Amino acid sequence: MEREFDTRSIHWMEPKREVHGSLTPPLYLSSTFVFPTAEAGEARFAGLEDGMIYSRLGNPTVAVLEQAVADLEQGEAGLAFGSGMGAISAVLIAMVESGDHILCSEGLYGCTYGLLAMLKQKFKVDFSLIDMSDPAKVAAAMRPETKVVYVETPINPTLKLVDLKAVSEIAHAHGAQLVVDNTFLSPALQQPLLLGADVVVHSATKYLGGHGDLIAGVAVGRKAFLDEVRMSTLKDIGAVMAPMEAWLILRGLKTLPVRMERHCANAMKVAEYLAGHEKVTRVDYPGLADFPQKELAERQMRGPGGVISFEVATLEAGRKVLNSVRLAQLAVSLGEATTLIQHPASMTHSVVPPEVRREEMGISDGLIRISVGLEAAQDIIADLEQALAEI
C-alpha cells in the first residue's frame, strides 16, 4: 500500500534493513571499507558487485539519505553532495560540453549565475536568462544547441513561478533536459519530477536539514544518469557529502512536513501584514490572493512556502530595516527554525552585474528577502513593525 508523504518522511528506513535493528541509521564514520577478498574488491570497482569501496564513492549513511530523498521526490535514485552548489555544478557539468547552451529562468541564485558565467567564459558553454512565465517565450528561446533548461521555481528572490509541466514538454520536444532547483519548497510542497523534470536539485542546507547546522546538496533523477554523475563529476571533482551531514538531514526529514506547515502558516500572516504596510511598496508571496500566478501556484504547489520578498523605497531604507530588526537574524540562507532577513542586491546576488540583476532578474535595490521561521507569527510581525518604523 502506498503511504502518504507525511508517513514516508519518517519511515524511510525499514528496521529489517539494519542488521542490529537500530531505529535510526548508524553513522558510518569511515573513509574506506575492507574487501572480503581481492576478487570482491575487483568486482566492486568494475561495478559487478554491490558494496562500499571508499566514502568519496559512497557511504552507508549517505546511501540511506539518497534513497530517502529519492523516495520523497518520487525519483528513481538520489545522489548526495557536499553543498547545494556541488549538486548544481556536478549535474550541469555532466550534461553539457563546449558549444552547448543552457536556457535559464530569469531569476537565479547568485552562485548559480556565477557558475554559469564561469562555464561561459572558460569552457564556451553559453547561457541565457528569459522570462519563463509565457511558454511561447520559452519555445522561441530554444536553440539547436540548447541541451539543458534550468529552472528555479519559485525564483530566488522574486518568487515568480514557472509552469513546470509546460516547460518540460517544450524542453523535451527540443531534445533538452529539464533541471529544477526545488530548494525553496522541498518535496513536501512540490515534486518537479512528477511534472516532467529530469533532475531535481536541492540545497539540503535549507528545508531538508531545517536547523541551520549543516551544508549539503542532493540531486534526484534517473538512476542511470546519476550513476554516471557519481563516477564522473562527483568522484573526480569531489564535492562529497560527509556522513554526519547525511545523518543530520535524515533526522530533519522526519519533521519536514510539520515544519513546512508552520513555515507556510507563519509566512502567510507575515505577507498579509506587509501587504498592508504603508512603507512597503511591493510584496511577492505565492500565498497572497493577488499574487499574479495564483492559479499556477495552487495547481503546481501544495503550499506557498516560507520565503517572502518585499520592497521598500530605497537602498538606504532597506539597510535601515535590516539594521533595526531584533528577532529576525540578519543572515543569508533560509529554511531553518530562525527567521532570517537579507538584502539580495548587496548579498546573495551581488555577483550578478547590476544591469542584469535589475533589468533581467527584477531585483531592485530596495528588495528584501525574509525566510520566515517557526517563531510565533505575532512576534515576527512585531519585529518587522518596529524595524519599518525606523524608515
Could you confirm whether 285 is annotated as catalytic?
Answer: no
Phi–psi pair at 32, nearest 5 degrees: -135, 165
- The answer to whether residues 82 and 241 touch, using CB atoms and an 8 Å cutoff, is yes
- What the chain holds in terms of domains, given with CATH numbers, is 5-253 (3.40.640.10), 257-388 (3.90.1150.10)
pLDDT value of position 309: 96
Torsion of CA 191, 129, 345, 219, to 10 degrees: 30
Phi–psi pair at 160, nearest 5 degrees: -65, 150
- The predicted-structure confidence for 197-220, as pLDDT tens digits, reads as follows 999 999 999 999 999 999 999 999
pLDDT value of position 348: 76
Q: Choose, from 71, 100, 109, 369, the residue flagged as catalytic.
A: 109
* Burial of residue 221, with CB atoms counted within 10 A of its CB: 0-12 exposed, 13-18 middle, 19 or more buried: buried
- The predicted-structure confidence for 109-150, as pLDDT tens digits, reads as follows 889 999 999 999 999 999 999 999 999 999 999 999 999 999
Record the pTM.
0.94
Could you confirm whether 181 is annotated as catalytic?
Answer: yes
Residue 17: pLDDT band (50, 70, 90) is low
8-state DSSP, 54: B
Q: Choose, from 44, 147, 206, 369, the residue flagged as catalytic.
A: 206
Could you confirm whether 150 is annotated as catalytic?
Answer: no
- The predicted-structure confidence for 239-287, as pLDDT tens digits, reads as follows 999 999 999 999 999 999 999 999 999 999 999 999 999 999 999 999 9
Residue 361: pLDDT band (50, 70, 90) is confident
Q: Which helix (H) or strand (E) holds 137?
A: helix 135-141
Instruction: Locate 161 and state its grid cell.
Output: 513561478
Asked whether the predicted pLDDT for residue 15 surpasses 80, the reply is: no
Three-state SS for 13?
A: coil
Crossing angle, helix 110-123 and helix 84-95, to 10 degrees? 30
Could you confirm whether 56 is annotated as catalytic?
Answer: yes
Q: Choose, from 8, 54, 56, 223, the residue flagged as catalytic.
A: 56
pLDDT value of position 182: 98
Average pLDDT over residues 167-172: 98
d(CA 226, CA 54): 18
Instruction: Give the bridge partners for 32, in sequence order.
Output: 54
